[in-house]
Amino acid sequence: MNRAFFPIAKSLFAAMLAFASVAHAAEDPKAGAAKADPAKGEALYTSGDAARNITACVSCHGAAGASTISQNPKLAGQHSAYIHKQLTDFKGADRSNPIMSPLAKVLTDDEMKNIAAYLEAQAPKPGAAKNKDTLALGKRIYRAGIAEKNVPACAACHGPTGAGIPNQFPRIGGQHQDYTVAELANFDNRTRKNSPQMDAIARRMSADEMKAVADYIAGLK
């Protein structure tokens, strides 16, 4: 065999390997995926983007996600996967919201991940239960559920302190009572339809039970 053939064959083999690697990367959705950038997320959260009509998140959710408005959720320390999912859901019909839906629709997927990464890194701010008369009821619902109504214990998914489980269930400990009550009501009346589990649970609860457990959750640390 002609010795001149070997360098050519070697070059062809190397080219084939390179092509195969590129093809594999193209088929693998994780290959080359951009890592979330909390610094970019902080910039968008804090300042928004006037050129694209994106309002700064801080105006409603507070500095570093520590909302002081009881109707707007605290986002500091929330699991990034949960925030990303909610922003994605705001773009569809399952969680339509007159304020959040227009904002979410102009955010790119990378921007949503950046904001989520920034918020997850922030320290959660504690809250406090306010109604002593319903504290025992709220505690019982959170820890044991309501057996006669087939309502499971909130702690089973959200943890004993409300810290949640990353990639599965959100952090709810310390959340504003007003916000939690409103979201339970939204699940109940199907205004919010992005969690089949919470749909079923909320429909079995009375308004007083929702308020009691929401107040107890506000005091979890």
Per-residue model confidence as pLDDT tens digits over 54-73: 999 999 999 999 999 999 99
The pLDDT value recorded for residue 24 is 43
**Separation CA 175–CA 22 (nearest Å):** 46
- Band (34; pLDDT cuts 50, 70, 90): confident
Question: Taking a C-beta distance cutoff of 8 angstroms, is the pair 139, 216 a contact?
Answer: yes
Q: Which domains does the chain have, with CATH numbers?
A: 38-120 (1.10.760.10), 132-218 (1.10.760.10)
pTM for this prediction: 0.85
In angstroms, what CA-CA distances link 162 with 118, 133, 219?
A: 20, 21, 10
The pLDDT value recorded for residue 14 is 45
Tens of pLDDT, residue by residue over 78-96, are: 999 999 999 999 999 999 9
Which residue in this structure is represented by tokens 């955010």?
107
Fill in the DSSP letter of residue 66. -
* 131: nearest Cα among 42, 209, 221: 209
**Separation CA 157–CA 86 (nearest Å):** 18
Tens of pLDDT, residue by residue over 124-146, are: 999 999 999 999 999 999 999 99
